[in-house]
Amino acid sequence: MKPSEADESRLISDEEVQRFHLDKVTPHNGPIVLAEYDPRWPELFAREAARIRAALGTRAVLVEHAGSTSVPGMAAKPIIDIVLAVPDSADEPAYVPALEAAGYVLRVREPGWFEHRMFKGPDTDVNLHVFSAGAGEIDRMLLFRDWLRADAPDRDGYLRVKRDLAMRTWRHVQHYADAKTAIVERIIARAASHEPAPSLGLPPD
């Protein structure tokens, strides 16, 4: 997909951004800084995964590295995205106190979207996404990751869109994320149907 095809048709309002955040959201009002791939990112994930499993034990049904930092060679915001599945993410007393005791801070609560919760980490910059085991969004996130790891044309195309969008000024980082929706959905659809992407014949930027 060309960068011009990125989805900026509807950027959510300040009120919508704030609605699910538990702390006050400060507008970003700037471009997005992408870091070149860092081979330490998988190590940082492994350290966090061990800390999460130590805190939750068997309540940590699944702990996976997701997002661009999980794709070798992909430039990304230097934030480690982690997917955690628990038996019931709506049952906060069953896991939130244990994560908080380990230094994680609950920042986002989205009951209407797979009962999603998001925590920030005690030291490493992470987005810890919590869903109930079996939530469809987990499968989508991991399918997207696995496809980008395996398919160079889609990986390069996604990187082009990311770089183009990152140079623009965004009131909220969420707006940058939302603007990638179109290409993310197309890649997921292709991954689900196992169709290889057409090669653009161009090296990544």
In this structure, what CATH number is given to the domain that contains residue 51?
3.30.460.10
Whether 17 is in a domain gets the answer yes
Q: What is the pLDDT of residue 201?
A: 42
Whether 136 is in a domain gets the answer yes
DSSP state of 71: S
Q: Which residues pair with 84 in a beta bridge?
A: 63, 130
Q: What is the pLDDT of residue 194?
A: 84
Whether 202 is in a domain gets the answer no
Joined together, the tokens standing for residue 5 give 């095809």
Q: What is the pLDDT of residue 196?
A: 58
* Sheet of 116-120, strand order: 62-66, 80-86, 126-132, 116-120, 105-110
Q: What is the pLDDT of residue 11?
A: 84
Joined together, the tokens standing for residue 31 give 């471009």
Whether 201 is in a domain gets the answer no
Give the distance, in angstroms, between the CA of residue 190 and the centroid of all CA atoms in the same chain: 19
Whether 205 is in a domain gets the answer no
**Boundaries of domain holding 151:** 3-193
Q: What is the pLDDT of residue 2?
A: 34
Q: pLDDT tens string for the chain (205 positions)?
A: 233 334 455 788 999 999 999 999 999 999 999 999 999 999 999 999 999 999 999 999 999 999 999 999 999 999 999 999 999 999 999 999 999 999 999 999 999 999 999 999 999 999 999 999 999 999 999 999 999 999 999 999 999 999 999 999 999 999 999 999 999 999 999 999 985 565 444 444 4
Q: Is 201 left (phi over 0), alpha (psi -120 to 50) or beta?
A: left
3-state helix, strand, coil in the chain (%, to 5): 45, 15, 40
Given a contact cutoff of 8 angstroms between Cβ atoms, the answer to whether 204 and 156 are in contact is yes
Specify the number of domains making up the chain. Answer: 1
Whether 179 is in a domain gets the answer yes
Q: What is the pLDDT of residue 6?
A: 43
Q: What is the pLDDT of residue 198?
A: 59
What does the radius of gyration of the chain's CA atoms come to, in whole angstroms? 17
